[in-house]
Amino acid sequence: MPMGALRNILRQAGTGSPEEPIFTGSDPVVQTPYRVGTAGAAALAAVGLAASDLWQLRTGRRQKIAVNVRAAALSLRSSRYLRLDGKPFDSPWDPLSGIYPTRDGRFIYFHCNFPNHRDAMLSVLGTAPERAAAAGAASRREAAELEEAVVAAGGVGVMVRSAAEWAEHPQAAAVAELPLLEIVRIGDAPREPLPDGDRPLAGIRVLDLTRVLAGPTCARTLAEHGADVLKIAGPHLPHSGWIEYDTGHGKLSAHLDLREAAGRDRLRGLAREADVFSQSFRPGALDDRGFSPEELMRLRPGIVCVTLSAFGHRGPWAARRGFDTVVQAVSGMAVQQGGSKGPRFLPVSAIDYVSGYLMAFGAMVALARRATEGGSWLVRVSLAQTGHWIAGQGVVDPAALATVPEDAPEPEIAALSVDTETPMGRLRHLGPAVQLSETPAHWLRPAVPLGYHPADWPR
């Protein structure tokens, strides 16, 4: 199954490979009917093959790639296994986030992990910030009406749909017409040989302007193959708290306020020396700041722009906010996961992490094409496209799923983990899940708090 999924990724990206990775293990790994191990392993293998392509450009040699399906599946909830000085973190979820029944016998999902989204939901419901009060207010409204009202207020809420209902929605049709990911040449530029270095992405500079999980996972993945990654966060923007430590391995981290001319000027200076510019705001959100792909390729010919959206760049929902759980709720995945118990979310953030791996894969393919063909490039990924693809891998045998424990045994987690000294303390976290024969994936820098470093490239 992972090999078939991998071939599908490579075909949709317009690339191939002279060798096949070695896959071990199989689904189910965690308590979900979806083949998340297969999806994760295939996406990670694609990353490994792209790293091998870059290594071949540097040395003339290819690498052997191996991925364990169990390790790939567990990487899709890597934040669960973080320990700081031996202690787990509190839940990252706001108490108001969740699925609520509505008056018409349906369900509505509210995502409230950012304060502005929580406040928008509460303004629509007209309640105090208490779960019971919000549930009571939701129970007196209809799900479809609430969905539109929350979105209009600037919040994030969706009516829970079955897969059949979603298939009839115009946005689902738009998503179905798009490939899993797009790697598009958007401008002319001279060919750029890879910089000197002893790893696939050594000397490659990545600006990471992404948030939450998928986008930051992209930059983390590029860092594990040698890229210099500079995370840029707005000091005034809400963030994901300690989840930043899960996606922060290998990165420098700086604050810039793009509302101010000085912040925008500094980012332009950084972009002129960057190879990859990755962002996960809504389509067009950075255009008015002067950082659209078109502006970036004029500023830095040969740049690779990587963008993540919730629902893709086509269709009536193209500009809507969304997260992994939003796509699960609206697309039928939560209904499938919950079965007779009512809608439930998957026990892994498969859409987020797989999207991040696909973004990194696309960036690496574009860098290889820049080295051989020249050009400026745009890589587009959306959570909805990834969710559509994961669902398309099919479901596992219910009998096999019935025997899957809630979590992997502690010795297995320990074997997959590494300890890193960070400014916060000793962090235990999962190591990279893809194995390369000549350049083992690893992170050179520890995770740090947001804004820990100056906004400069390493010299």
- Quote the tokens at residue 252: 């420098």
Give 351-397 pLDDT, tens digit per residue: 999 999 999 999 999 999 999 999 999 999 999 999 999 999 999 99
DSSP 8-state assignment for residue 374? -
The alpha helices in 185-305, defined as continuous H runs, are 214-223, 243-247, 261-272, 293-299
User: Which stretches of the chain score pLDDT less than 50?
Assistant: none
- Whole-number Cα distances in Å, 184 to 61, 366, 371: 27, 8, 15
- Identify the pLDDT of residue 212: 87
- Quote the tokens at residue 248: 């922060």
| pTM for this model (two decimals) | 0.97
DSSP letters for 30-95: SS-SB-HHHHHHHHHHHHHHHHHHHHHHHHS----EEEEHHHHHHHTTGGGG-EETTBPPPP-S-T
DSSP letters for 191-217: --PPPS-SSTTTT-EEEEE--TTHHHH
**Rounded-to-integer distance, Cα 119 and Cα 452, Å:** 29
What letters, b where the CB count within 10 A reaches 16 and e where it falls short, cover 96-132? bbbbbbbeeebbbbbbbbbeebbebbbebbebeeeee
DSSP 8-state assignment for residue 339? G
**Rounded-to-integer distance, Cα 317 and Cα 45, Å:** 31
- Whole-number Cα distances in Å, 370 to 40, 76, 112, 116, 268: 27, 30, 40, 40, 21
- Identify the pLDDT of residue 16: 85
Give 25-55 pLDDT, tens digit per residue: 999 999 999 999 999 999 999 999 999 999 9
Residue 381: strand pairing partners: 308
* Amino acid identity at 243: I
* Amino acid identity at 216: P
- Identify the pLDDT of residue 287: 78
Residue 67: strand pairing partners: 23, 434
Assigned CATH for 2-90+175-315+346-436: 3.40.50.10540
Helix (H) or strand (E) holding 333: helix 333-338
- Identify the pLDDT of residue 208: 97
- Quote the tokens at residue 245: 């430590």
- Quote the tokens at residue 210: 């992404």
- Quote the tokens at residue 356: 């991040």
Residue 236: CB atoms within 10 Å:
9
- Identify the pLDDT of residue 358: 98
